[in-house]
Chains A and B, each alone.
Chain A
Amino acid sequence: MPLDFSSTESNFTQFKKLVEGGSTDTKKINELLVLLKIAIIQASIPTEKDHNQQIVKETLLVREILECGALYSIKQKDIKAFDRFYAQLTPYYYDFQKYIQPSPLQYNIIGLHLMKLLATHNTPRFHAELEIIPDSMLDNPFIKYPLLVEKSITEGSYQKVLSSRSQVPSEHYLVFIDLLSDSMKEDIANCSEKSFKYLSLNEAQQLLQFNPQQLNDFIVKRGWKVQGDKIIFQSGSSSVEIPSQQLIAQTLHYAKELERIV
């Protein structure tokens, strides 16, 4: 069934208007989104042999629908939906780039996807995606930001991540920064346990960017000891255990092997 171009287009303008206007009528938006998703399936795809005007026009529309949908899903904090939209968008960004003009939103969305990979701790995927991005685009603010965040995380400058909120290239990135900041705080706490002997409450508050109440909850959650105004960390010198199981297994293994040789 071919795509009904005009009705899809009108549906899409309506959808776009509602989303961009910040409408709260989720029911109406979702209804439209379902219609648009069906339209996406019906749209034709450009090929080597056939990429005439009409097909290119449809492709451009589908791409715009997907992009809008992806941004909307982020606004709704529906990460899984964003993932699906992104998967659908990839051919439009990479494989069809011979037939259609690059989208102005392209790197915004790729950057968001990179942030998503960071927030879900999928660094292998993050680097694999990074390989596809051409060198010239690495300075693009939308790409540069996730790169900066990634660098800070591997280095250990967690606080930089927390304080980078003000530098986000678009509001959509805040969702992922929120997701990240929780795990960043856990990471800071993990590092602090190992590296500090003691830490005053004030300093801890600064490090973790908490208010006193949040800090108290956090201390309870992690089971830290507080003496006066200081948090005392257990120094890591717990008594060394002899790994008896492992030793027995090893010795038996040697005995077996030696018996085979002699």
Chain B
Amino acid sequence: MATKEVEMIDVPSSAAELKNSESGSKEVSSALTLSDLKKNVQLIEKGVDTKESRFITRVLRQTTAIRKKLNAKILYQIIATTFPESSRKASLLSYVKGNDGMDIDSSAGASSKDHILPEVEAYLQLLVVIFLIDQKKYVEATQCSTSLVELIQPNNRVTLNPLSSKIYFYYSLSFQHAQNIEHIRPLLLTALRTATLRHNDEGQATILNLLLRNYLEYNLVEQAEKLVSNTTFPEQSSSNQYARYLYYIGRIKAIQLEYSESYNYLNQAIRKAPQNSASGFKRTVNKLLCIVQLLMGEIPERNVFSQKILKTAMKPYFHLTQTVRVGDLTSFHQVVEKYSSLFKSDKTFTLIQRLRSNVIKTGLKKITSAYSRISFADVCKKLKFDGTPEDMMFIVSKAIKDGVIEATINRSEGYLQSKENIDQYSTQEPLAAFSNRIDICLKIHNDSLKAMRFHPDISKAETEKIAEVAKSIKQEMERAAEESSENGGDESDY
């Protein structure tokens, strides 16, 4: 922002001047960042002293903003001033230094302290890791993060917990960029065990997700499924982690053909995801959700495809949905062919290949509702099916058995006869639908009752008052219950 203003004012002035003022404003902003970092270090120290991890969480929240402003010089200065002389300090400085032979004030290298808290140490090294990842120096990032993980693993301090989950996240990220993520599996598994034993919920959730991601990166669905079935996701963890976890389970279930379960998990994942950010996550989930819905035989709603953040990403899926809805095999194959590389990179390709039978089924549904009697050869032609009428007969026969269409087959003459539309109200359908809705309403009522809480700040006298009111209500309820049971008794007497 500052640089922009400078530019606007100094338009006529010489380029050299412009450069000068630009670097000046840069210096100001870097000085600000440095002071921010110093404040953060103090906050961490305060957090450790008072054993309150919320200070540390606050620091981590601010780190996202700081991340954008980080540069080698700031990092060098902060590390130089806060670390005592040690080999770790030297190695950290070497990561930062080797960048762009900039002039570093060597006098700043003299440290003022002879002691450092492990939390501060971990935080600063984490910053270095993030910085290295942003600079795309992935190999250095993996080295740096490995030594960081070694630093925090033997430490059992409650105040390290919020830091550790971040650390494991960036540890995994650096390895993923360096493309040898499979090597860290054993370490993550031990870390998961440690986190579980120490009741480090946030860390447990993060590591669990990292492991799932790791397995699914290599398509090891079975291992991922076993991990899920043998662990419990900690309830206390943040909803962001929970959303990720739900997405991974949804993915596993989709591959294992349990579409309705997968649908539920994915839907929940979208709901748990942050409202205004995480558009990448939402896009990925929505893509998968769309395919799962199609596989269930449902058509996703149109507004899914028209949302602003999803529109371009979902376009191939929109075309796919259209062909499934129409039940046209040729155009289905065309769409799959056209976008196959994209589907492959989205890892939805194998799922999409299963859609073929769904396309046939929707096509059949349409045909049976339009024709009362049609020969198999015509069905083949209408669906642009690439087999013989005989094959078609078997497919139709299965569709009848699965209850997709209501029809009978006349084999000797080779035609398909649709049954008259059955009156839906003569079946159990409406009953089931109503019962379903009533259950949902009751559940909402019960959940909202459970969610009601008394405010902790209300004084004791007031709470007692409320309790009294509640008591009288309860008595009234009991009386009503008794009356109604009496009434019930009376009725049964008649």
List chain A positions with a Cβ less than 8 A from chain B.
48, 123-125, 127-132, 135, 151, 154-160, 188, 190-192, 194-197, 199-200, 203, 240, 243, 247, 250, 254, 257, 259, 261-262
Say yes or no: B221 contacts A128, CB within 8 Å.
yes
Q: List 9 A-B contacts (CB under 8 A).
A: A131-B221, A131-B350, A132-B220, A132-B221, A135-B349, A157-B391, A195-B409, A199-B411, A243-B428
Which residues of B are found within 8 Å of A130, using beta-carbon distances? 350
Q: For the complex formed, measure the closest distance between the CB of A212 and the CB atoms of chain B, giving whole angstroms.
A: 18
Q: Mark B404-425, 1 if CB is under 8 A from A, else 0.
A: 0001111110000000000000
Known: A155-B357, A203-B412, A257-B442. A128 touches B256 (CB 8 A): yes
Q: Which residue of B lies closest to A194 (CB)?
A: B401
CA distance A122 to B256 in the complex (A): 10
Which residues from chain A contact B408 at a C-beta distance below 8 Å? 195-197
Once the chains bind, are A157 and B387 in contact (CB under 8 Å)?
yes
Contacts of A154 in B (CB 8 A): 354, 357
Segment at the interface with A among B126-134, B190-198, B392-400, B450-458: B392-400
A190 to chain B, nearest CB (A): 6
Residues of A within 8 A of B221 (CB): 127-128, 131-132
Q: Which residues of B contact A (CB under 8 A)?
A: 183, 218-222, 225, 255-258, 344, 349-350, 354, 356-357, 360, 387, 390-391, 394-401, 407-412, 426-428, 431, 435, 438, 442, 445-446, 477, 480-481, 484
- A131 contacts across to B, CB distance below 8 A: 219, 221, 255, 350
Q: Which residue of B219, B258, B344 is within 8 Å of A124 (Cβ)?
A: B258
B412 surroundings in chain A (CB, below 8 A): 200, 203
CB pair B398 A127 closer than 8 Å: no
Q: Which chain B residues border A151 with CB–CB below 8 Å?
A: 356-357
Per CB-CB distance, the 9 closest pairs between chain A and chain B, nearest first, are: A156-B398, A124-B256, A131-B219, A128-B221, A195-B400, A191-B397, A195-B397, A194-B401, A191-B401
Chain A residues near B183 (CB-CB < 8 A) = 48
With a cutoff of 8 Å between Cβ atoms, the chain B residues found around residue A191 in the complex are 394, 397-398, 400-401
Residue pair A159, B219 in contact (C-beta under 8 Å) = no
Tell me the total A-B contact number using a CB cutoff of 8 A: 103
Is B256 a contact of A155 with CB atoms below 8 Å?
no
Is B400's CB under 8 angstroms from A194's CB? yes
The one of B219, B356, B394, B438 in contact with A132, judged by C-beta atoms closer than 8 angstroms, is B219
Contacting pair A156 B435 (CB below 8 A): no
Bound together, the chains give a CA A254 to CA B445 distance in angstroms of 13
Q: Which residue of B lies closest to A127 (CB)?
A: B255
- A124-B258, A188-B397 known; 11 other A-B pairs, CB under 8 Å? A132-B219, A154-B354, A154-B357, A155-B356, A155-B398, A157-B395, A194-B401, A195-B401, A196-B408, A196-B409, A247-B431
Closest beta carbon of chain A to B259's beta carbon, Å: 11
Q: Give A156 to B358 CA distance when docked, in angstroms.
A: 12
B195: shortest Cβ distance to chain A, in Å? 25
- Bound complex: CA of A128 vs CA of B397, how far in Å? 28
| Residue of A whose beta carbon sits closest to that of B391 | A157
Q: How far is the CA of A157 from the CA of B357 in the complex (A)?
A: 11
Complex: how many Å from CA A135 to CA B222? 18
Whole-angstrom distance between the alpha carbons of A131 and B344 in the complex? 11
Q: How far is the CA of A197 from the CA of B412 in the complex (A)?
A: 11
Q: What's the Cα separation between A259 and B445 when bound, in Å?
A: 13
Closest chain A residue to B256, Cβ basis:
A124
Q: Judge whether A159 and B356 touch: CB under 8 Å.
A: no
Verify A157–B394 contact, CB threshold 8 A: yes
Q: How far is the CA of A125 from the CA of B354 in the complex (A)?
A: 15
Alpha-carbon distance A160/B408, docked complex (angstroms)? 22
Q: B397 contacts which of A123, A124, A192 (Cβ < 8 Å)?
A: A192
Separation of A48 and B180 alpha carbons in the complex (Å): 13
Bound together, the chains give a CA A158 to CA B344 distance in angstroms of 29
In the bound complex, residues from chain A placing their C-beta under 8 Å from that of B477 are 262
Q: Are A123 and B395 in contact (CB under 8 A)?
A: no
- Cβ contact within 8 Å between B344 and A259: no
Closest A residue to B255 using CB positions: A127
Closest chain B residue to A147, Cβ basis: B353
CB proximity of B131 to chain A, nearest CB, Å: 28
Point out the residue from A155, A192, A199 that lies within 8 Å of B395, measured CB to CB.
A155
Enumerate chain B residues within 8 angstroms of A124, measured Cβ to Cβ: 255-258
CB distance from B374 to the nearest CB of A (A): 14
A240 to B484 CA separation, bound complex (whole angstroms): 35
Q: What is the chain B residue whose CB lies nearest that of A95?
A: B182
Interfacial chain A residues near B219, Cβ < 8 Å: 131-132
Residues of the A chain whose Cβ atoms lie less than 8 Å from the Cβ of B484: 259
- Chain A residues, CB < 8 A from B446: 257
Tell me, rounded to whole Å, the shortest Cβ–Cβ distance linking B234 to chain A. Answer: 26
Q: Complex formed: what's the CA distance from A156 to B344 in Å?
A: 27
Q: Which of B349, B401, B438, B480 has the most CB of A within 10 A?
A: B401
Docked-complex contact B401 and A262, CB < 8 angstroms: no
